[in-house]
Amino acid sequence: MRHRRFTLLTILALVVAACGGEGTEGSTTSSAAESTTTIASVEAVELSYALEPGASYQYEVDMNQTIDLSTSGDTSALGEGEDLPGDMSLVIAGTTTLTYSVAAGPESGTYEVTISGDFSDLEFGGTIDGEPVDPSEIPEMAEMEPVDVTIVVDEQGNVIPDDSAGPGEDFLGGLGGMSMLDQFGATTPGQFIGPPFSEGEFTVGDTWSETVETPMMPDADPIVTTVESEVVSSDEVDGNEVFVIETTSTTSAFEFDLGELLIGFMTAFVPEDATEEELAELDAIVEQLRFAFSVDESASNMTTWFDYVAGVSRQAEMTGDTHMIMDVNIPDETTGDLVEFEMDMTIGQDLTYRLIDGSGS
């Protein structure tokens, strides 16, 4: 029996589908009785984004991404063109420009933001299987392709999910041409710039937080993400008054075995006239099939210089890292025989954004 091809993209799409669903969230705010900063106090103001439909905002982005990867076993089951090195330590660095084009959103108080840019000027360094990196032989999964993505955000900076997307489509397609690694990283270049805000007025010393729970598989604990922000000081950027806001986003560790999902995916394509021999072959595969996936607790930190008058982020610095392990035993695309594969990967990123052209800049 020839089994449906299991490419890396297909598998990760199933991972996303397993983690999908609308999350539940709650937020809290607090105001400090006394500011600990030495900067003169600033009157409390409502914090919100005031993007202008029809306008474009250009950010210069300095990027430094590190990828440490080790694999063992047979990677042939990932599909043609997706073979991975045994060991890789890769650094991707450089400067590029991202353009944020704004249109009116589908609902009042929302914006449709199209993010575009390319990474052709980035430089690659490090080693692959002990040899210095040859930029012409970078593994496909580590390539940085152009970004072209449209998202919808509200005035508080919350990204509105696309309810029309199919399972995994909003996540996998929502980052445009970014590599698969970026889609599991703690930070990504093609994202909205700035923290989500809570309702109310804020000044130096004030804090707010938000917790989002994303359901996973039935009877499994949800993935919990906590976003905590604080206005730590006031400052000026190019003559514009800003609040300096520090934000920490923490996502809980999670792990699961997608074997049941993969079994359902495979059995859905069993022909009605399958022979007993073919069904027995499938049963033997199902008995040993495994797709264990685990991600450690991850955290990202962001400092934003937010222009509370113009309602736009003037600068932002982001750092984050993610560690994940895959342990699979799935059918080979050609032979149908089960092959084992393990991957251990750590992704780290440092990103700096500077508004160089836009409303009021």
Q: Which domain holds residue 243?
A: 8-357
Residue 323: predicted pLDDT = 92
DSSP 165: S
Q: Which residues, including other chains, have CB under 8 Å from residue 314's CB and lie 6 or more apart? A: 237, 238, 240, 242, 305, 306, 307, 354, 355, 361
Mean pLDDT to the nearest integer, 345-361 = 85
Work out the average pLDDT over 30-38: 38
- Using a pLDDT cut of 70, give the percent of the chain over it: 74
Question: How far, in Å, CA of 160 to CA of 343, rounded?
Answer: 33
Using CA atoms, how far apart are residues 337 and 77, in angstroms rounded to an integer?
9
Q: Residue with structure tokens 């919808």?
A: 152
The reply to whether 2 falls in a domain is: no
Q: Please, which residues bridge with residue 61 across strands?
A: 96, 353
Most confidently predicted of 81-90, 227-236, 271-280, 333-342: 227-236
Q: Is residue 14 part of a domain?
A: yes
For residue 245, which amino acid is it? Answer: I
Give helix then strand counts, H and E, for the chain: 5, 18
pTM score of the predicted model: 0.77
Name the residue with higher pLDDT: 272 or 69: 69
For residue 33, what pLDDT is reported? 32
Predicted local distance difference test score (pLDDT) of residue 39: 45
Residues contacting 203, CB < 8 A, separation 6+: 31, 35, 41, 42, 43, 44, 45, 231, 243
Poorest-confidence range of 96-100, 126-130, 161-165, 204-208? 161-165
Checking if the pLDDT of 175 tops 80, the result is: no
- Does residue 251 form part of some domain? yes
Q: Average pLDDT for residues 328-336, to the nearest whole number?
A: 73
In this predicted structure, the answer to whether residue 102 has a pLDDT above a threshold of 60 is: yes
**pLDDT over threshold 80, residue 21:** no
The verdict on residue 3 lying in a domain is no
Supply the pLDDT for residue 31.
Answer: 42
Does 179 map to a domain?
yes
What is the chain's mean pLDDT, rounded? 78
Token pair of 274 as six digits: 């399958």
Check residue 213 and give its pLDDT: 85
User: Is there a domain that residue 227 lies in?
Assistant: yes
Rounded average pLDDT over 7-15 = 43
The domain total for the chain is 1
Mean pLDDT: which of 132-141, 172-181, 351-360 is highest? 351-360
Is residue 178 one of the residues assigned to a domain? yes
Q: What is the average per-residue pLDDT within 86-105?
A: 92
Q: Which residues, in sequence order, are bridge partners of residue 320?
A: 300, 349
SS3 115: strand
- Indicate the pLDDT class of residue 82, thresholds 50, 70 and 90: low
What integer pLDDT is reported at residue 25 of this predicted model? 54
Look at residue 279 and tell me if it is in a domain. yes
pLDDT(32) > 50: no
pLDDT at site 75: 67
Q: What is the pLDDT of residue 36?
A: 35
Q: What secondary structure does DSSP assign to 47-88, as a single string?
A: ------TT-EEEEEEEEEEEEEEEEEE-GGGG-TT----SEE
- State mean pLDDT over 134-145: 70
